[in-house]
């Protein structure tokens, strides 16, 4: 092991006589483990499952059944690869089988906010073709992609001219196809957040909307109450009725899902007698282990005719503070007097529920919920599908080589607008630890590599092996808002001798700790009990969850 460490350190050194070549950081492995308080308090028996089914930053789920197979896709905003696609046969155990956005040229995420990019995808299927509709905010507008397999490859986006966000497709029994979306109402909006749901025919040959558009919901369930942000529409047919479900109330604590129905696909649509059909906004915010902000649902029916809903929700560790983003939950749909219901008024989302009446599927190789431990040894030919980059669709700066992950240190800061050398995996627990073994030889002031815990480019911590004016150090940088430098502010530092180090970040709800160790030595605490609330959505804003992973930065201009 000592020989391997020396070789790795030598490989990280810049070439002599070649000028200021940026060093390369080599990560031998990356170890993630997490266990939240609920994981110790709540256990699922053999006939039950645990919520959320997809833990961490997996919002805006859309679901589809083809035969015995279920497919699910989530929003990915400005991360690449994007639009993660999952497969299951029991609705409980999900395996990521691909990313619909997996190559340069499909989308251009350069220099846009991490909370922009891809919103609210919708996955559909007809006659051997999979369809994926979505919105690329600040990078193209509304689009449709196609594939012959849900695993991909998916086509380049086919752009359409409809305004608004959240397009979804509906294929009727008569062969017609329709596209729905959130858009401005007809005429002038009457208040902030006044939106409408539109419908229009869709041509599957040209992948374009055709004909006249029509508003089928204006405002929401009770227009006199000025409902806000009706969005995320999904349309399906049951017992001779067309049912429309949509999110209403914004994405925070007042989030909800509402339902309408009509005898005609183009309306008029009437709201159900009990709406919302899913929400947690009336519950006591001080309840233990709360699940909040639920909505943005989609439905699927099993071959036996049982209906289930996937939807997003959040799990704050206190108040409305959560770091890990909006997650995917699963509950059955009950039908009462011809109307769907996911949660009865005042009912709390359960962490444990009876499994769907489907054959059990083996657990996924990459765990997606509960307490778990995952270690990446970077020994294979490709990265695990859950690793993502910020905005970058070029991948030449990172590679698997000699049993390690090699990342080129480039002069782009985490807090900048360029293509930073950062590779992240979702933080899936509020109580978690991430650890790596790094070989790196910082050659000039500003060179650094290590682990970053990133909510967005303005809110992050970075623990790194770095070089400053005094020599080689272990240091922590913190950025809490756009007023800080793009690299953050150094808040702790210790001298370090050597080019191989182990680094560890520990999160404990509202606090986080930072540790380091020599290649084989004892751990040292560089900082403890630092404020983790700056990584929360409540503090940072936006729609995403925290990512954690290796990064490298070369000194110089951003």
Query: Hey, is 7 helix, strand or coil?
Result: helix
Spatial CB neighbours of 28, under 8 Å, sequence gap ≥ 6: 8, 377, 378, 403, 404, 436, 437, 438, 439
122 flagged as catalytic: no
> How far is 319 from 256, CA to CA, in rounded Å?
19
Other Cβ atoms less than 10 A from the Cβ of 373: the count is 11
**Cβ(484)–Cβ(534) under 8 Å?**
no
CA 278, 244, 167, 196 torsion: positive or negative?
negative
The one catalytic residue in 39, 122, 166, 231 is 231
H/E/C letters for each residue in 430-448?
CEEEEEEEEECCCCCCCCE
H/E/C letters for each residue in 506-549?
EEECCEEEEEEEECCCCEEEEEEEEECHHHCHHHHCCCCCCEEE
Query: What burial class does residue 493 get, using C-beta atoms within 10 Å of its C-beta: 0-12 exposed, 13-18 middle, 19+ buried?
Result: middle
Other Cβ atoms less than 10 A from the Cβ of 396: the count is 8
Spatial CB neighbours of 503, under 8 Å, sequence gap ≥ 6: 435, 436, 438, 450, 451, 463, 464, 465, 474, 515, 516
Strand partners, 175: none
> How far is 308 from 299, CA to CA, in rounded Å?
6
Write out the H or E segment, with its range, that includes residue 339: strand 339-341
H/E/C letters for each residue in 47-98?
CEEECCCECCCCCCCEEEEECCEEEEECCCECEECEEEEEEECCCCCCEEEE
The one catalytic residue in 36, 39, 60, 435 is 60
60 flagged as catalytic: yes
> What is the set of active-site residues?
60, 231
């Amino acid at each position: 092991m000592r020989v391997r460490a020396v070789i790795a350190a030598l490989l990280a050194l810049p070439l002599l006589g070649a000028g200021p070549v940026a060093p390369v950081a080599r990560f031998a492995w990356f170890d993630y483990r997490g266990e939240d308080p609920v994981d110790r308090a709540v256990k699922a028996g053999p006939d039950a499952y645990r919520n959320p089914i997809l833990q961490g930053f997996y919002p805006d789920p859309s679901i589809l059944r083809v035969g015995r197979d279920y497919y699910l896709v989530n929003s990915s905003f400005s991360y690449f690869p994007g639009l993660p696609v999952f497969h299951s046969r029991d609705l409980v155990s999900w395996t990521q089988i691909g990313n619909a956005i997996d190559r340069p040229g499909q989308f251009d995420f350069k220099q846009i906010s991490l909370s922009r990019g891809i919103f609210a995808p919708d996955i559909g299927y007809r006659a051997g073709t999979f369809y994926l509709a979505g919105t690329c905010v600040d990078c193209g507008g509304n689009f449709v992609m196609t594939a012959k397999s849900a695993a991909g490859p998916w086509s380049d986006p086919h752009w359409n001219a409809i305004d608004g966000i959240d397009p979804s497709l509906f294929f009727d029994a008569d062969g017609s196809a329709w596209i729905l979306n959130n858009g401005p109402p007809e005429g002038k909006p009457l208040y902030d957040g006044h939106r409408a749901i539109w419908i229009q025919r869709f041509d599957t040959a040209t992948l374009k909307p055709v004909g006249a558009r029509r508003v089928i919901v204006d405002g929401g369930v009770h227009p006199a109450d000025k409902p806000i942000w009706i969005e995320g529409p999904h349309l399906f047919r049951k017992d001779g009725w067309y049912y429309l479900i949509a999110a209403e109330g914004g994405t925070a604590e007042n989030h909800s899902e509402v339902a309408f129905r009509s005898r005609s696909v183009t309306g008029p649509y009437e709201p159900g007698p009990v709406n919302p059909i899913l929400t947690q906004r009336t519950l006591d915010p001080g309840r233990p282990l709360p699940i909040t902000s639920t909505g943005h649902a989609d439905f699927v029916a099993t071959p036996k005719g049982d209906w289930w809903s996937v939807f997003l929700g959040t799990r704050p560790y206190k108040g409305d503070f959560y770091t890990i983003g909006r997650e995917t939950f699963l509950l059955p749909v009950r039908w009462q007097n011809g109307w769907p219901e996911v949660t009865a008024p005042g009912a709390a989302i359960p962490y444990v529920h009876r499994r769907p009446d489907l054959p059990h599927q083996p657990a996924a190789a990459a765990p997606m919920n509960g307490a778990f431990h995952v270690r990446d040894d970077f020994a294979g030919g490709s990265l695990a599908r859950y690793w993502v980059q910020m905005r970058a669709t070029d991948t030449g700066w990172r590679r698997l080589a000699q049993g390690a992950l090699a990342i080129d240190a480039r002069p782009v800061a985490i807090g900048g607008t360029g293509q930073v050398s950062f590779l992240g995996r979702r933080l899936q627990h509020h109580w978690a630890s991430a650890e790596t073994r790094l070989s790196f030889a910082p050659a000039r002031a500003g060179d650094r590599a290590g682990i970053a815990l990133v909510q967005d480019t303005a809110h992050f911590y970075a623990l790194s092996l770095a070089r400053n004016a005094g020599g080689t150090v272990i240091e922590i940088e913190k950025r809490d808002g756009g007023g800080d430098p793009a690299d953050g502010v150094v808040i702790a530092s210790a001298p370090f001798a050597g080019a191989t180090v182990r680094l560890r970040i520990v999160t404990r709800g509202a606090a986080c700790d930072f540790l380091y160790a020599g290649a084989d030595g004892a751990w040292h605490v560089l900082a403890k009990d630092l404020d983790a609330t700056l990584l929360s959505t409540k503090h940072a804003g936006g729609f995403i969850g925290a990512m954690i992973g290796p990064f490298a930065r070369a000194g110089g201009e951003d």
